[in-house]
Structure 1
Amino acid sequence: MKAKKWVSTLLLVLGFIVYFSVNEPESAYAMHIMEGFLPVGWAVFWWVVFIPFFIVGLRALKKITKETPELKIMLGLAGAFTFVLSALKIPSVTGSSSHPTGTGLGAVMFGPLPMSVLGSIVLLFQALLLAHGGLTTLGANAFSMAIAGPIVGYWVYKGLMRSTGKQKWAIFTAAALADLSTYVVTSLQLALAFPAEQGGILASFVKFGSIFAVTQVPLAISEGLLTVLIWNWMQSYSTEELSVLQRKMKGAKQS
């Protein structure tokens, strides 16, 4: 058992070293949609869409901490993982940046609703503490990264677990697609705000999506692999918390 723990820790450390070495960010201080880049109308629109999810997410988060307080450390881990990965920003489309999201892990463990809170808090902290900006565009950024991404990741995980039963494959795919779907939504947000003169929204969506794909596809694959390493590590060192979490997930499914 000690050997298994040692191996999982070593693999996790090596995974982080390789990940940060391969995905070393350049100087980029902008969210995936930078401060002031969206027209006022669209910035307000995404705030209005985002807020109801955040309120429902707060209720879900409160319920988890009240019913199973022993899972608070796992919530902290999910938030920290999201914070670290999403802080690695690479310059991309003008007025934007490309980066991993880290929301797939939390979506697998707790579902998409708590991640709407954790993910948006992460973006707020980065905007204020890391000088990444993005207060006016926080609604749009939070919708794509903290809402759309976790929703996709959660349902992909559920679907693959039902169809294949292969948990590691389900976790990898969920994390990777949570990352990619964030930028699909970001591309749509930018396309709606800045439709192309020729081809309109669709042409603009294809243009933004194609540029993001150059950096985001390898980021998503490496994020999926890193998320599996994190899961392996938790299985070695947080078996009790994972057992509580899995019982809770089964109970939620039955109800």
Structure 2
Amino acid sequence: MKKSFKVLFIISLLYLVTMIPQDAFAMHIMEGFLPKGWAIGWWVVSIPFMAISINKLQKLLKEHPDKKLLVALAGAFVFLLSSLKIPSVTGSCSHPTGVGLGAILFGPWVIVILGVIVLLFQATLLAHGGLTTLGANAFSMAIVGPFVAYAVFKLLKKAKVNTFVSVGIAAAAADLITYVVTSIQLGVAFPADNMMVQIGKYMTIFAFTQVPIAIAEGILTALIFERIAHYEGEGNLIEKVY
């Protein structure tokens, strides 16, 4: 377990880089952007997931206290990657999500509340996202993303695909689905003349930056997972915590 501190230390150093002052271009739906009905609706949808996630996290830490450091690392990984904002052609930005690693290590439920906490800190400290839109942002990144990562990983493992390849593909899928869901959220909230056309426009715009970011995130997540597995043992990481 001590060797895991090396990974956490590297992530902490990279995090410091993200704290360099910069203009706040936020991919997360910004404060006050969604109509009131949609903002409340996404909160209503997301809150039950948050409540279940808190219970799952408490159960995990109680049954596997030795996993506390890895849980902290998974949360730091989400914060780090989702804070790396890259300007997009929209005048907004794209960024990795980081939720795939935690979903693979602990299952999707645990990472939900970690993702929500990250989004809350970003909204209040980095002007990245917002409080009224936290429900919508949580649904796309902290709920749908982890569940897709988990499902893709399990399917690939069942098909006997190499573990680290499975991790990379699952992390990339979680990244991409987050932006698909965000595009849908924006398209249905602001349908203009044709809702499907609007959704397609958002997806197309985000694709320019998000596809290469998703590929890079998949590779990075696989590398981080490989290092953790090297020290902890792959079986200890996956089989005993689901």
With structure 1 as the length reference, what TM-score do the two structures score?
0.83
Aligned residue type for 1:214: F
Share of identical aligned residues, percent? Answer: 57
Match for residue 155 of structure 1 among 151, 169, 173: 151
Aligned residue type for 1:225: I
Distance 2:165 2:236 in 1: 22
* CA displacement at 1:232 relative to structure 2: 1.6
SS in 1 for 2:240: helix
Q: Which runs of 4+ in 1 moved over 6 A?
A: none
Task: Say which is worse superposed, 211-220 or 165-174, in terms of deviation.
Answer: 165-174
SS in 2 for 1:159: helix
Show the counterpart of 2:34: 38
SS in 2 for 1:30: coil
Distance 1:46 1:113 in 2: 18
Show the counterpart of 1:196: 192
Match for residue 122 of structure 2 among 122, 126, 131: 126
Q: Contact 1:27–1:90 at 8 Å: present in 2 too?
A: no
Match for residue 146 of structure 1 among 142, 145, 149: 142
The CA deviation string for residues 33-80 of structure 1, in whole angstroms up to 9 with x for no partner, is 111111111000000001000000011101100000100111001000
Distance 2:27 2:204 in 1: 19
Aligned residue type for 2:137: N
Distance 2:195 2:22 in 1: 30
Q: Contact 1:93–1:208 at 8 Å: present in 2 too?
A: no
Match for residue 222 of structure 2 among 228, 246, 253: 228
* CA displacement at 1:157 relative to structure 2: 0.1
* CA displacement at 1:30 relative to structure 2: 2.4
The CA deviation string for residues 80-130 of structure 1, in whole angstroms up to 9 with x for no partner, is 000000001233475853111000000111111111100010011111122
* CA displacement at 1:236 relative to structure 2: 2.7
Distance 1:33 1:140 in 2: 8
Show the counterpart of 1:117: 113
Show the counterpart of 1:246: 238
Q: Contact 1:168–1:228 at 8 Å: present in 2 too?
A: yes
The CA deviation string for residues 125-179 of structure 1, in whole angstroms up to 9 with x for no partner, is 1111223241111000010000001111100000000012310110010000000
Aligned residue type for 1:82: V
How many residue pairs align between the two structures? Answer: 231
Show the counterpart of 1:187: 183
With structure 2 as the length reference, what TM-score do the two structures score?
0.88
Q: Contact 1:120–1:142 at 8 Å: present in 2 too?
A: yes
1:112 to 1:47, Cα distance in 2 relative to 1, 3 A? same
Unmatched segments (≥5 aa) in structure 2: none
Show the counterpart of 1:75: 71
Q: Contact 1:29–1:133 at 8 Å: present in 2 too?
A: no
Distance 2:181 2:162 in 1: 28
- The question of 1:212 aligning with 2:206 is answered yes
* CA displacement at 1:186 relative to structure 2: 0.1
1:26 to 1:218, Cα distance in 2 relative to 1, 3 A? farther
Show the counterpart of 2:59: 63
Distance 2:89 2:30 in 1: 10
Show the counterpart of 1:49: 45
Give 1:172-183 correspondences, 5 Å limit. 172-183=168-179
* CA displacement at 1:229 relative to structure 2: 1.0
Distance 1:130 1:59 in 2: 28
Aligned residue type for 2:240: K
